[in-house]
Structure 1
Amino acid sequence: MAMELRRARSLVAYWVNGEMVLDDYLDRTPENGEKNGVAVDGAALDILSQFDDWTDPEQVSHRFDDYDPASVLEAVTDLAEAGLLRTRQAAQEEDRILDRWQAWGQSAQFFHFDTKDTAYISTEGASADPEIAASRAAVFGEIRASGPAPEMFARNVDAERIMLTRSFLPLDRDFADVLLSRRTHRHFTEDAVPLRSFSTVLHYTFAPMHFFDAGVLGKLMLRTSPCGGARHESECYVAVRNVESIPPGLYRYSPSDHSLEVLSYDFDTVQLGRLTFDQKMVTTAGFVCFLTIDVQRAMFKYRSARMLRTVLLDTGHLAQTFALCATAVGLGPCQTDAFRDSELEAALGVDGAAETAVYVLAAGVPARRTDGHPIADAPDEVGRRTPQESAPQKPAA
Structure 2
Amino acid sequence: MDDPRLRISSCGALLWHAGQLVWHDTLTHRRFAIGEGADIVLRCFIAWQPLSLLREHARDDDHFQSLVAIAERMRAANILITWESERHRVEDVNEAAWHPWGRLVALFHGETRNLRDQTFITAEGDQERLRERLDLRPPPPASREFPTTRRVPLAATDAPPLSRAGFLDVLSHRRSTRKFSGDPVSFEKISALLRWGGGITELDEPTQTAFKTSASGGGRHPTEIYVHAHRVTGLESGMYHLNTRHHELELIGPPRDPDTLVRLLGDQGWVAESGCLVFFTSVLARSMWKYSTPRTYRMLHLDVGHLSQTFYLLAAALGLGMTFTAAIRDEKLEEFLGIDSAHELVMGCSVIGMPTDTSAIGHGE
Matched, 1:332 2:321: yes
Of the candidates 28, 38, 46, which is equivalent to residue 40 of structure 2?
46
Q: Which residue does 2:355 correspond to in 1?
A: 366
Q: Secondary structure at the match of 2:281?
A: strand
Q: For residues 321 and 312 of structure 1, what CA distance do their matches in structure 2 show?
A: 14
Write the letter of the residue equivalent to 1:53: A
Q: How big is the shift at 1:162?
A: 1.5
Q: Which residue does 2:204 correspond to in 1?
A: 212
Q: Which residue does 1:21 correspond to in 2?
A: 22
Q: Which residue does 1:190 correspond to in 2?
A: 182
Q: Which residue does 1:121 correspond to in 2?
A: 120
Q: For residues 149 and 350 of structure 2, what CA distance do their matches in structure 1 show?
A: 24
Maintained 8 Å contact 2:178/2:359: no
Maintained 8 Å contact 1:57/1:73: yes
Matched, 1:347 2:339: no
Of the candidates 146, 154, 171, which is equivalent to residue 164 of structure 1?
154
Change (3 A) 1:262 1:98: same
Per-residue displacement from partner, 1:35-84 (whole Å, max 9, x unpaired)?
A: 34211135112112212333322342453115523333222211111111
Matched, 1:310 2:299: yes
Q: Secondary structure at the match of 1:53?
A: coil
Matched, 1:296 2:297: no
Mean alpha-carbon deviation: is it higher for 158-167 or for 219-228? Answer: 158-167
Q: For residues 308 and 368 of structure 1, what CA distance do their matches in structure 2 show?
A: 40
Change (3 A) 1:53 1:255: closer
Write the letter of the residue equivalent to 2:77: A
Q: For residues 257 and 192 of structure 1, what CA distance do their matches in structure 2 show?
A: 25
Per-residue displacement from partner, 1:151-176 (whole Å, max 9, x unpaired)?
A: 12211354311222113416562211
Maintained 8 Å contact 1:187/1:368: no
Maintained 8 Å contact 2:222/2:286: yes
Q: For residues 273 and 254 of structure 1, what CA distance do their matches in structure 2 show?
A: 26
Q: For residues 55 and 371 of structure 1, what CA distance do their matches in structure 2 show?
A: 56
Per-residue displacement from partner, 1:348-391 (whole Å, max 9, x unpaired)?
A: 1212222222111121110145797849xxxxxxxxxxxxxxxx
Change (3 A) 1:13 1:373: closer
Maintained 8 Å contact 1:248/1:268: no
| Alpha-carbon RMSD | 2.4
Q: Which runs of 5+ in 1 are unaligned?
A: 29-34, 127-132, 376-397
Write the letter of the residue equivalent to 2:31: G
Of the candidates 49, 54, 58, which is equivalent to residue 55 of structure 1?
49
Write the letter of the residue equivalent to 1:198: I
Change (3 A) 1:226 1:196: same
Q: For residues 39 and 141 of structure 1, what CA distance do their matches in structure 2 show?
A: 34
Maintained 8 Å contact 1:185/1:368: no
Q: For residues 256 and 355 of structure 1, what CA distance do their matches in structure 2 show?
A: 19
Change (3 A) 1:71 1:156: closer
Of the candidates 106, 110, 133, which is equivalent to residue 143 of structure 1?
133
Structure 1 stretches of 4+ moved >4 Å: 139-142, 368-375
Q: For residues 308 and 66 of structure 2, what CA distance do their matches in structure 1 show?
A: 58
Q: How big is the shift at 1:8?
A: 1.1
Matched, 1:173 2:170: no
Mean alpha-carbon deviation: is it higher for 89-98 or for 266-275? Answer: 266-275
Write the letter of the residue equivalent to 1:165: A
Per-residue displacement from partner, 1:93-120 (whole Å, max 9, x unpaired)?
A: 1011111101111221111011111635
Change (3 A) 1:53 1:354: closer
Q: Which structure exhibits the higher relative contact order, with contacts defined as CA atoms closer than 8 Å and separated by 6 or more residues?
A: 2
Matched, 1:4 2:1: no
Q: For residues 127 and 15 of structure 2, what CA distance do their matches in structure 1 show?
A: 29
**Higher strand proportion (structure 1 or 2):** 2
Q: Which runs of 5+ in 2 are unaligned?
A: none
Maintained 8 Å contact 2:323/2:351: yes
Change (3 A) 1:268 1:40: same
Change (3 A) 1:220 1:136: closer
Matched, 1:249 2:244: no
Write the letter of the residue equivalent to 1:95: D
Change (3 A) 1:146 1:270: farther
Maintained 8 Å contact 1:181/1:372: no
Matched, 1:276 2:265: yes
Q: For residues 78 and 100 of structure 1, what CA distance do their matches in structure 2 show?
A: 29
Change (3 A) 1:147 1:284: same
Maintained 8 Å contact 1:10/1:24: yes
- Identity, in percent, stands at 29
Q: Secondary structure at the match of 1:37?
A: strand
